[in-house]
Amino acid sequence: MKDTERERKWGNIVGTVAGILILLASLLLATNLCAADAATSPAIPSIFNPQSTPADSIYHLSIFVLAVTGVIFAIVFSLIAYAITKFRRRSEDGAEPPQVYGSNQMEIAWTVIPVLIVLVLFMATARVIHAIEDARMPKGAIEVTAIGHQYWWEFRYPALGIVTANELHVPVSNSSRPSPTFLKLISADTDHSFWVPRLAGKTDLIPNRVNRMWIDPHDVGVYVGQCAQFCGIQHAKMLLRVYVDSPQQFAQWVQEEKRPAQSSDAAEEGRRIFETTSCINCHSVSGTVADGRFGPDLTHLMSRDTIASGATPNTPENLKMWIQDPDAIKPGSLMPAMKLNDPDLDALTAYLETLR
């Protein structure tokens, strides 16, 4: 009977240890898969393949912290496993194990060692925070004002005279031609958080407060992120895209964005509908009477790959659906449904398609 009970207890111990080891192995496998996926596609919002100096600093700090805490876990787990294995049998005389109460050496050790560990982690973290937060803006850097709205992003380039939405364009920055982008973060309504994992850490946008961050992407491509602070019913679909362009591509994009809205006589009826409905109360289009500030600037709407803050691709069909019934794409959106008749809807969509 004693042997059976002993085997059962031993089996429970082995099962617990095996379960923990399997959990750790699964965690390491998931981490490796995420890192591998991030390496193959810049559109995956992963922290395991940083492409900007702030993100790289945060990544290496996290690896250092994980290594330190991993060593602590391995030591503690080993000691617990050793104690459970060695002292699994109760002594026959019922005596208590040797006590170490009052040992000055032990008390000093388990006081000084944790303090030193915390001090090292604190100093490493403070160094990274100082390097990121106190970086000075060099000459030639791009300045962008990012404004968080429910539920979309507004990007203003004060020095360039450009206003766009949801898709941030910045030049690539490398050692031979550094061109970082410094962002001024403002909220128009409630709390938001700007986060593009591969380019930088999270920074909040808080009403009546100005926060700042910067990025210097090393490779061209598209990097995705989103609002990381719950800001309402459509928080999950408040997405954003950062387009990292070559210097030539960025210069071309700037020139195209500075041009006035392009239209045609064929879309004149759609323009009339746009200018005589509530569209102009929220949206603006350069060269027209539309001067709204509650919604995205539509001057170059069709130059964007997505609409509804990245919720759906920017196609004529999706654009028509977005105008007629926004809740079909983004339930809880603050954009009102226009409910136009079919001829007016087709004409308005045709006009918006000319805004390139």
Tens digit of each residue's pLDDT (9 = 90 or more) over 226-275: 899 998 888 888 999 999 999 999 999 999 998 877 766 667 888 888 88
Q: What is the mean pLDDT of residues 163-169?
A: 93
pLDDT digits (tens, 9 = 90+) for 330-354: 888 888 888 888 888 888 888 888 8
Among 185, 196, 186, 181, which Cα is nearest to 227's? 196
Q: What would the mean pLDDT of 301-312 be, rounded to a whole number?
A: 89
Helix (H, G, I), strand (E, B) or coil at 171: strand
Q: In this predicted model, which residue has the larger pLDDT, 11 or 52?
A: 52
Q: What is the mean pLDDT of residues 35-43?
A: 49
Looking at residue 264, its pLDDT comes to 67
In whole angstroms, what is the distance from residue 289 CA to residue 300 CA?
16
Look at residue 42 and tell me whether its pLDDT is greater than 60.
no
7 pLDDT band (50/70/90 cuts)?
low
Looking at the DSSP bridge assignments, the partners of residue 258 are none
pLDDT mean over 131-136: 90
- Percent of the chain predicted with pLDDT > 70: 84
Query: Residue 93's CB: how many other CB atoms inside 10 A?
Result: 5
What is the C-alpha separation between 9 and 186, in angstroms, rounded? 59
CB 165 within 8 A of CB 296: yes
Per-residue model confidence (pLDDT) at position 40: 44
Over residues 59-74, mean pLDDT? 93
> Confidence class of residue 91 from pLDDT cuts 50, 70 and 90?
low
pLDDT of 293 over the 70 cut: yes
Identify the burial level of 274 via C-beta atoms within 10 angstroms of its C-beta, where 0-12 means exposed, 13-18 middle and 19 or more buried: buried
At 164, is the pLDDT very low, low, confident or very high (cuts 50, 70, 90)? very high
Q: Is the pLDDT of residue 84 over 50?
A: yes
The predicted-structure confidence for 188-200, as pLDDT tens digits, reads as follows 989 999 999 999 9
pLDDT digits (tens, 9 = 90+) for 275-292: 888 888 888 888 788 888
Distance CA 309, CA 214 (A): 22
Residue 176 confidence (pLDDT): 78
Nearest to 54 by CA among 241, 203, 257, 226: 203
- Please compute the mean of the pLDDT values over residues 285-306 and round it to a whole number: 86
Residue 59 has pLDDT above 50, yes or no: yes
Under 8 Å between Cβ of 161 and 13: no
Q: pLDDT over 90 for what percent of the chain?
A: 43
* Predicted pLDDT at 295: 86
Helix (H) or strand (E) holding 68: helix 53-86
Whether the CB-CB separation of 62 and 47 falls below 8 Å is answered with yes
SS (H, E, C) 83-124: HHHHCCCCCCCCCCCCCCCCCHHHHHHHHHHHHHHHHHHHHH
- The pLDDT value recorded for residue 13 is 60
Which has the closest alpha carbon to 195: 264, 136, 146?
146
Q: Give the model's pLDDT for residue 38.
A: 46
In this structure, are strands 211-215 and 181-187 parallel, antiparallel, or unpaired?
Answer: antiparallel
Q: Does the CA dihedral 319-320-325-328 come out positive or negative?
A: negative
